[in-house]
Amino acid sequence: GVYATQPGAAGARSANGQAATAIGWREFFVDPRLQRLIEIALKNNRDLRVSVLNIEAARAQYQITRAGLFPTLDATGTGNRQRLPNALSVAPGRNITTTYNVGLSASWELDLFGRVQSLKDQALAQYLATAYARQASEISLVSQVADQYLTLLSTDDLLKVTEDTLKTAQASYDLTKLQFDNGTGSELELRQAQTVVEQALANQQAQARARAQALNYLVLLIGEPLPDDLPAGMPLDAQNLLTDVPAGLPSDLLTRRPDVMQAEQSLLAANANIGAARAAFFPKISLTAAFGTASPTLGGLFKAGTAAWSFAPNIALPIFEGGANIANLDLAHVQKRIEIANYEKAIQSAFRDVADGLAARGTYDQQIAALERNEHAQQRRFDLSDLRYKNGVDSYLSVLTAQTDLYTAQ
């Protein structure tokens, strides 16, 4: 599901026994058309592609840093020809010497104080943070596609409402104009009817523009024009998005959100960076060794008595760095405090998202029911006002007011 990719994901179960963490977007969004659009977006979206590439870059950086824990081994081959002055030559008259060398060289930094290990831990945490960021981007993309698809459906419904309102207003205007032409209606009523027509036309054009913009944004999200072979979709009122939320969701479920896990890994990376900065105050010990064969001629290589080796331990203790090591350690501590604040913010935001969702879920049913009753009442009011006007009982102003309120309710 949305969070089922997290290790050890478990939590409350719905009425059918399915874990809340195992509910994927396919189970939540059952519209076949919407499912197909989400599939296309997950494959084509450019932002998601960047997230995937960031993971690959972080993985490569981790491998680079991890390699520092192991010795390096190189094959070497050198040729050297030099001339020394007589004063420095071990054999006067033989000032020019030639040497060929073939062998293996190895070097290894002894990580006695954990500098390389800390850098490896930092790179690993950064890699995991990038992976969780990709999961968060995927969830966000699914949400955006679904939201924009539902917005498109709602603009379709609103566009139909405005078109029906325009037809009703136009019919009313035609009747009022006929009465005015026959001398049974006033110009005031005619202009009132014309005002309603123009306002309805403006609303219809605004909804047409909103639909075009919603479609354009949906195309941007999925990364390509809407295919012609999309399956048939479901109407907006059949989406059944207000499903029951499983009771007893554990609070630790929020800590498995990818955005929270990303913040946690960033905090771990900052903590590992402190270890690396602290280790910079201690000696750096490395071992270098070489083994091979050396000869004054190429043909003499690998013959008996030409073996050569060297072993060179090296230790470097920082004495004066102009305060760089201290500043690096201070910077690492500051970065850790920043990541702590970011982690706390991610946790608080996660709790707020869930709290807002639960609060809204508890009021949507009653709100929708009240709005539907209001629409039915406004429709009946408009029908009665129109009937009273046609029978000469009421003024046309009552019809206009009822028509405006009906459009608002719809």
In a domain, 118, yes or no: yes
In angstroms, what CA-CA distances link 229 with 135, 232, 233?
29, 9, 12
Select from 348, 346, 353 the least CA-distant residue to 262: 346
**Is the pLDDT at 261 greater than 80, yes or no?**
yes
Select from 108, 4, 125 the least CA-distant residue to 58: 125
**Is the pLDDT at 304 greater than 90, yes or no?**
no
In a domain, 100, yes or no: no
Going by pLDDT thresholds of 50, 70 and 90, the confidence category of residue 297 is low
- Say which DSSP state 106 is in: E
Q: Which of 69-73, 315-319, 369-373 has the highest mean pLDDT?
A: 369-373
Going by pLDDT thresholds of 50, 70 and 90, the confidence category of residue 18 is very low
CA 369 – CA 375 distance, rounded (Å): 10
131 with 32: CB under 8 angstroms? Answer: no
Q: What is the pLDDT of residues 189-202, one digit of tens each?
A: 889 889 989 999 99
Position with higher pLDDT, 208 vs 237: 208
Q: What is the pLDDT of residues 2-17, one digit of tens each?
A: 333 333 333 333 333 3
Going by pLDDT thresholds of 50, 70 and 90, the confidence category of residue 220 is very high
Would you put residue 240 in left (φ > 0), alpha (ψ -120 to 50) or beta? left
In a domain, 394, yes or no: yes
Q: Tokens 């280790």 correspond to what residue?
A: 279
Which pLDDT score is estimated for 92?
65
92 with 86: CB under 8 angstroms? Answer: yes
Quickly count helices (H) and strands (E) in the chain: 8, 4
Which pLDDT score is estimated for 93?
64
Tokens of 65: 């840093």
**Is the pLDDT at 21 greater than 60, yes or no?**
no
Going by pLDDT thresholds of 50, 70 and 90, the confidence category of residue 352 is confident
Least confident of 14-28, 141-155, 237-251, 293-307: 14-28
In a domain, 385, yes or no: yes
Which pLDDT score is estimated for 111?
81
In a domain, 104, yes or no: no
**Is the pLDDT at 299 greater than 70, yes or no?**
no
**Is the pLDDT at 23 greater than 60, yes or no?**
no
Q: Mapped to the 3 state alphabet, what secondary structure does 118-147 carry?
A: HHHHHHHHHHHHHHHHHHHHHHHHHHHHHH
Which pLDDT score is estimated for 17?
39
Q: Across residues 277-285, what is the average pLDDT?
A: 82
Which pLDDT score is estimated for 10?
35
In a domain, 102, yes or no: no
In a domain, 53, yes or no: yes
- Say which DSSP state 199 is in: H
Q: Who's near 82: CB < 8 A, 6+ residues apart?
A: 96, 97
Going by pLDDT thresholds of 50, 70 and 90, the confidence category of residue 300 is low
CA 13 – CA 19 distance, rounded (Å): 4
CA 49 – CA 54 distance, rounded (Å): 9
CA 42 – CA 29 distance, rounded (Å): 15
What CATH number corresponds to the domain at position 166?
A: 1.20.1600.10
Q: What is the pLDDT of residues 93-124, one digit of tens each?
A: 677 777 778 878 888 888 888 888 888 899 99
| Side chain identity, residue 180 | F
Q: What is the pTM of this model?
A: 0.71
Number of domains composing the chain:
1
223 with 40: CB under 8 angstroms? Answer: yes
**Is the pLDDT at 149 greater than 70, yes or no?**
yes
Identify the domain containing residue 203 by its residue range.
20-74+114-285+324-409
Which pLDDT score is estimated for 32?
92
310 with 241: CB under 8 angstroms? Answer: no
CA 24 – CA 41 distance, rounded (Å): 16
260 with 283: CB under 8 angstroms? Answer: no
Going by pLDDT thresholds of 50, 70 and 90, the confidence category of residue 218 is very high
**Is the pLDDT at 360 greater than 90, yes or no?**
no
329 with 278: CB under 8 angstroms? Answer: yes
In a domain, 108, yes or no: no
Which pLDDT score is estimated for 205?
95
| Side chain identity, residue 232 | A
Which pLDDT score is estimated for 336?
92
Q: Who's near 387: CB < 8 A, 6+ residues apart?
A: none
